[in-house]
Amino acid sequence: MPSSNLVIADESDDGFWRDDSGQSLHVSASDLERHAYCPLSWSLAREGKTGRGQAIDKGRIKHAEIHRKVENFKQKQNDLRRALVIWSWWFTIVVMFITDAIIFTTISDDRTPIDISQYLSILSVIWLVAGLLAIYLPWRRWINLPIEKSQELQDLKNLDDVAIPRTFQPYDFIGGWKQGGRVEAGFLMGATIFGLHAIGLLWAENKEQAGFILVTMAMIWTLLASWQLQRALLADNALEVARINAGLDEKTDVAYSDDEATAGLLLDNMSGLRGRPDQIVIVDGEFIPVEQKTGKIPDKPHKSHKMQLLAYLYLVESTTGRKPPYGVLRYGSQNLHKIDWDDVNKHLLFSATKEIQRLMVQGGAERNHNRKGKCQSCSRRYACNSSLV
């Protein structure tokens, strides 16, 4: 490696290499993968020799396709949640109509349905105006309303931009000009319920007739709620198709999926490690990093891929403070390998990280194998003087 690529740093007592300012030298998960494949490949990449070959191009396309499928799954998941929330609202309206019909026909009150209709009309207008004002004005800022945070997003603080948005009101929502959340939806919902009651009672001459009108409206609304339920069932079906397409297990939620453009980086200052996994899924409440690999499916995980995943496991632990029990290497869509996150693997990861940092300071990376097949498949063979083929 040319000396210009060497950096100045010293080995600290804990074995990591740090520069004058005490910063650990940065080692990415990709560095670990390349170094485990062949230290020379890592060194060539550091010199700016990018990987070449059809496999790399195909892998990139495949990666983008997988990311698109996972994003599609997340979108369908959100569609289903939204459809179910709307259905539950509509069902609430049905229940309210029936309850009101019972109340109307059983209680004695001097007021006529027309009086009550007028009263409800006024209430509906007040709620509508309140809802519109809440949408159009940044009232949350004015009263310094605490911002609701997601525990999961706080844990994954570097990935805020890419985690799943919530159904109606995203986490960190602070409202503002022409923006609405759950409070605004409640106001508009109230205005709708009061308005529908007022319209129903407008034509009633007595309480019995009012009860009949309310039951009729409940039946009409039941039809609408059934239609919404059908939409929810279709959304559920679409979600299932998207889940299978994305190769995700049942009961698996996706906290994050890397699309290279928006994904944040996980960092650890103590070791200098950094990287971003392809996906982080939530299984039984634990964050599980998933690394997707394309190309030929091996019988057992490649060491280079394992090293990369170990870096993500450590980064998820150091970022969230919660130790993931394992990570997943995924070859193709079906071939999954669990890699345990234990002390042995942690030691392996730290040793490789320190060795890469040493090479960054002292240089001297060399081929560490005699396997022609490895050089044959190497994407940096075109720039390598030590290739076996």
Binding site for ligand SF4 (CB under 6 A): 38, 40-41, 44, 367, 374-375, 378, 380-381, 384, 386-388
303 versus 347: smaller Cβ distance to ligand SF4: 303
Q: Which residues contact 323 (CB under 8 A, 6 or more apart)?
A: 317, 341
CB of 353 to ligand SF4, least distance (A): 20
Cα separation, 312 vs 327, in Å, equals 8
36 versus 290: smaller Cβ distance to ligand SF4: 36
Nearest to 36 by CA among 383, 365, 387: 365
Cα separation, 86 vs 77, in Å, equals 14
CB of 46 to ligand SF4, least distance (A): 12
Secondary structure (3-state) at 339? strand
38 versus 116: smaller Cβ distance to ligand SF4: 38
Cα separation, 254 vs 248, in Å, equals 9
CB of 42 to ligand SF4, least distance (A): 8
CB of 45 to ligand SF4, least distance (A): 9
Q: Show the tokens assigned to 270.
A: 């103590």
CB of 339 to ligand SF4, least distance (A): 23
Rg of the chain on CA atoms, in Å: 30
CB of 35 to ligand SF4, least distance (A): 11
By CB atoms closer than 10 A (0-12, 13-18, 19+), residue 358 is middle
126 versus 388: smaller Cβ distance to ligand SF4: 388
CB of 39 to ligand SF4, least distance (A): 8
52 versus 346: smaller Cβ distance to ligand SF4: 52
251 versus 296: smaller Cβ distance to ligand SF4: 296
Helical ranges in the chain per DSSP H? 29-37, 39-46, 54-106, 113-136, 139-142, 151-155, 182-202, 207-246, 303-320, 343-362, 372-377
215 versus 388: smaller Cβ distance to ligand SF4: 388
Cα separation, 357 vs 338, in Å, equals 28
By CB atoms closer than 10 A (0-12, 13-18, 19+), residue 326 is middle
Nearest to 287 by CA among 264, 255, 243: 255
